[in-house]
Structure 1
């Protein structure tokens, strides 16, 4: 019933304001073809804009493919960086595993009878030192820094993929809008044909 009451409201408005609207209605045959052509042109431009944003069989270069390729390149760089981090960490661990043996004499003090003593070697004490600990620590610091870069590369790749998806959606919406504008414009042109 709402449709019928709306119809009667439109008829009532036309009855009430008909004299004021008459000059505008008289101009419609002259205005509609031009307006229709403008809408068709605008529709074509919206469709072309959509094709530049997403891969929909229009232009060979589009933002969606460009961003997807960039995201893939960044993901590849992240993988290479992660491999480098693994190798640096392994090298740091191998360097830290290097242990150099040390020898130190073990002695005994024997009194010499003159109020002093003489130290006599009784054996060798074995020990070890890790001379590359500072290098290990520096390599670990480098690996930690590179890991933070890798994380940022991953975040950037994800954001580019999300942007690509958003542009693809926007491109689809522009295509829909452009098609609708063309349809309305063609309808306007046919009204006076």
Structure 2
């Protein structure tokens, strides 16, 4: 069965300090599955990664996990994935995830999440893809980052046009339909059908 859309989600392999982060990851996965979508993610079963994958599967969605061999044991590869791709390098992982995605979303996470988000954001500004980017600011997790980015604009290192590439919301139910529509499902009626 072909999914209605494919969303690449970057997030922590830890749960974080607040229950709101886990709740947001579960909500994202449930929304993907309920709307006939496909999750593409880093293939781990721990932390927010595991939560979003299990919620997607429980709601009837497909899950593609992509994990380097070196992290199979460390991140405890999720063998419940619809497809689990074990690759050799992080570069292969990120390339394959991007190829399978219609849009990208970052949930709370650590430096791996930051790096992945900034990489696909950079790729977009350079014209390597035109897939929408989202940042779910659960419980204000990314408030400090957003302040720093606004400072980078004020200091002349970034432009407003770069900030406009990133859709930022605190509520998954507001952000997810926006990302899916921006990925090509532009008619509201069509979005309501999925």
TM-score > 0.5 by shorter chain: no
Structure number with higher helix proportion: 1
TM-score for the superposition, normalised by structure 2? 0.19
TM-score for the superposition, normalised by structure 1? 0.19
Mark the structure with the bigger radius of gyration. Answer: 1
Structure number with higher strand proportion: 2
